[in-house]
Amino acid sequence: MIVPMKKVVLLALESGAREALEELRNAGVMQIDRAEQGSADTASLLEKRAHALRILAELERIGKPAAAPDPALSGAEVLEHAAAALEKRNAAESDAEKFRRRLDRLEPWGDFDAGCLKKLRKQGVTVTLVEGDEKKFAAAGALEGFCCREISREGKTVYFVLLGTTEPDPELFPGVVLADDDDPGLLYDKLEKCRAAQSEAQAELVRCAASVSLVKEEISGLTSAVEFHQAADALTDAGPVVYLSGFVPEPQIDVLREAAKKNGWGLLIRDPGADEIVPVLVKENRFSRVIKPLFDFIGVLPGYREMDVSAGVLVFFTIFYAMIIGDAGYGALFLLIALVCKAKFRKKEALRTPINLFILLSCATIVWGALSGNWFGIPGLPGIKWLTDPETKDTNVQFFCFLLAFAQLGVGRVWRAVHEGGLRSYIRHFGWTFIILGNLLLTLKIIVWPGDFPVIMYWVYGIGLAMVMVADVNWRDPADCFQFPFSVIGSFTDVLSYIRLFAVGMAGSCIASSFNSMGVDAMHAHLWAIPVGVLAILCGHALNIALGFMSVLVHGVRLNTLEFSNHTGLSWSGQPFKPFKKHDTED
């Protein structure tokens, strides 16, 4: 259920504005409307917090060091030390990369002393480093007054040196220009210093990582400071009073009223306007609590004026997941992993709900896999005849997929009719339900059991189209009239889309069976091939599991957030309710 919201305007004395914000934060029930433009102090705090979050991410990449945190350091000091170490490490990495590139460029010439080359030049001996092909090297060897020596070769390129008392023709033998510090020995020394600096910086980061909890406390404090400054930016002066506006959940209005009485505030409370963007707070129940990890993962939330479909999504997503994974052996493996995680992380409140959802999905997978006789892709295992008979199982599963389509889309339409209310809405959405039923009958006769169309299908279509044309089509709007036939066709493709459950489930079963056959054939070939066969089977099932999870995200989620959502009128455009309140320190 989506909790109703109230629009609130709060008035307080200008002289007690800061105290009013403190009390409002203590109440923790109001989401404040943001100011269009924040202050310079707020911008500075946001930048400081963003910098701290970047450093925290770097420290968390290091992992949890064995060393204990330094009790003498505060969170701000740890951030300061870590920032300096990061800067030092990045600078050392950048310099080291420059030196490596220069050494790579000088590598064909071997290890030489650039200082010696300069001394020879001062004494009248020219040393020219040249790179060219075999012809150029031969021509250099024939020059009079010069000594030519090969240094190295790389493919067709010859690296050689010309020694003489004069400069060779620069057009025929262009020399490699060396910088003042292009000395391999000197560059190696600098590279080693950079590596030492990197090691020192990394060691300092490891020490800072031991105090990551202090960093989190500091970031939590910065977050509170940012939100307080943003609330202060939202205050509007009106002479001796200031005011701000926001949203409060209807059940918590009394909490705000008590705070207003205590602090002498003025309150204006009204229902949100139709054009206002209202934050969404979903009241948790047994369904929404279990499916919430999925919504959080894909980042969707129904709009304020839409309905909470958590129960419907939970039921159908569980069935879709079981059909897509489709293997009781996989389900049993997942259940074992989930139970181990539940025991190991029993004190982690944040992990409790995702693990419970995984347990539910694993149990559903075991049930579907057992009914269809599918255990790790091993053929011939028992199940119910309706799902194991080779002659009819495919058509039966296809029928079940299309039946699920009618059930979910029909429930969505009925649900929407009840949510909107009114006779016209009931006629409209029940009309679409009849059309969906007609689509089901048409699909069954085209794909599952080909044959003549039943007479009842024409009656169902006729009733549904008549109801929709009366209650849904705006005949004064040409665009709406033009779009109506395409909407009917779209509803047919929505039903047809559920065949993906059959296709993906069958593909997973075939992949598992194929890898089993490959592994068994390898093991029968020779005794030494047994480990190869076992490895092939294990890798095949691991790949199949990975593909199954991807299929759940692509197909199982899509059917709920697209096809089902279209028929329930969900746009998933909701913004979560974020009250102005104190933050607990993160551990």
Same-domain pairing of 491 and 520: yes
Give the model's pLDDT for residue 467: 95
Which parts of 22-61 are beta strand (E)?
A: 31-32
**573 domain residue, yes or no:** no
Same-domain pairing of 260 and 381: no
Same-domain pairing of 330 and 434: yes
Same-domain pairing of 423 and 340: yes
State phi, psi for 347 to the nearest 5 degrees. Answer: -90, -5
Same-domain pairing of 162 and 224: no
**583 domain residue, yes or no:** no
What is the per-residue DSSP string for 501-519?
A: HHHHHHHHHHHHHHHHHHH
Same-domain pairing of 330 and 294: yes
Same-domain pairing of 466 and 355: yes
**280 domain residue, yes or no:** no
Pairing of the two strands 236-238 and 31-32: unpaired
Q: Are 174 and 132 in contact (CB under 8 A)?
A: no
Q: Which of 221, 236, 270 is the last residue of a domain?
A: 270
**486 domain residue, yes or no:** yes
Same-domain pairing of 202 and 247: no
**275 domain residue, yes or no:** no
Q: Which amino acid is at 522?
A: A
Same-domain pairing of 49 and 80: no
Same-domain pairing of 370 and 310: yes
Q: Which of 245, 270, 295 is the last residue of a domain?
A: 270
Given the structure tokens 């052996």, which residue do they identify? 329
Give the model's pLDDT for residue 587: 37
Question: 388: closest CA among 369, 405, 404, 403?
Answer: 369
**278 domain residue, yes or no:** no
Same-domain pairing of 295 and 177: no
Token pair in block for residue 339:
């139970």
The SS3 call for residue 300 is coil
Same-domain pairing of 325 and 454: yes
**454 domain residue, yes or no:** yes
Q: Work out how many domains the chain is built from and give that number.
A: 4
Give the model's pLDDT for residue 54: 92
Each residue's pLDDT tens digit in the chain (587 positions)? 899 999 999 999 988 889 999 999 999 999 999 888 888 999 999 999 999 999 999 888 887 766 677 777 888 999 999 999 999 999 999 999 998 988 888 888 888 887 788 888 888 888 888 888 888 888 888 888 888 888 888 888 888 888 888 888 888 888 877 776 778 888 889 999 999 999 999 988 888 888 888 888 899 999 999 999 999 999 888 888 999 999 999 999 999 999 999 999 999 999 999 889 999 998 888 888 899 899 988 888 999 999 889 999 999 999 999 999 999 999 999 999 999 999 998 888 888 899 999 999 999 999 999 999 999 999 888 999 999 998 999 999 999 999 999 999 999 999 999 999 899 999 999 999 999 999 999 999 999 999 899 999 999 999 999 999 999 888 888 888 999 999 999 999 999 999 999 999 999 999 999 998 988 888 887 778 788 888 989 999 999 999 999 999 999 999 998 899 999 988 888 899 999 998 764 43
Q: What is the tens place of the pLDDT at every residue in 116-129?
A: 888 888 888 888 88
**Distance between CA atoms of 242 and 458, rounded to whole angstroms?**
66
**578 domain residue, yes or no:** no
Question: 373: closest CA among 502, 499, 509, 498?
Answer: 509
| CA triple 425-431-436, angle to 5 deg | 125
Give the domain range for residue 154: 113-182
Token pair in block for residue 365:
């997978």
CATH number of the structural domain spanning residue 252: 3.30.70.2170
